[in-house]
Amino acid sequence: MRNRATAIRIVLIVWIVASIAGDVALAFGPIPPGQASDLASSESLTILLLAEIAWPVFAGVLAALFFTLVVNRLAPPTAVVSPEALRGNTRVQTAWIAATLVIVLSLAVYGTVALAIDQPGAGISTVSAALPMPTSTDQPLEVQVIAQQWWFTYRYPTYGGIETSQLVLPVNQKIQFHITSLDVTHSFWFYALGVKGDAVPLNDNVVTATPTQTGTYRVQCSELCGLWHGNMSDNTAMVVSPSDFATWIQQQTTLDAPIMKFLVPYSHTYEPSPTIYGT
Ligand SMILES: [Cu+2]
**3-state SS of 155-186?**
EEHHHCCEEECCCEEECCCCEEEEEEECCCCE
Q: What is the pTM of this model?
A: 0.81
Over residues 91-100, mean pLDDT: 91
Q: Give the C-alpha separation, 163 to 104, whole Å.
A: 46
Q: Which residues surround ligand 1, an ion (CB under 5 A)?
A: 186, 221, 225, 232
Q: What is the CA(237)–ligand 1 centre distance, in A? A: 16
Q: What is the CA(187)–ligand 1 centre distance, in A? A: 6
pLDDT category of residue 118 using cuts at 50, 70 and 90: low
Over residues 63-87, mean pLDDT: 76
Position 218 pLDDT exceeds 80: yes
Provide φ and ψ at 163, rounded to 5°. Answer: -115, 135
Q: What is the CA(219)–ligand 1 centre distance, in A? A: 11
Q: What is the CA(15)–ligand 1 centre distance, in A? A: 45
Q: What is the CA(75)–ligand 1 centre distance, in A? A: 58
Q: What is the CA(30)–ligand 1 centre distance, in A? A: 29
- Specify the CATH number for 141-262; select among 3.40.630.30, 1.10.1660.10, 2.60.40.420, 3.40.50.300: 2.60.40.420
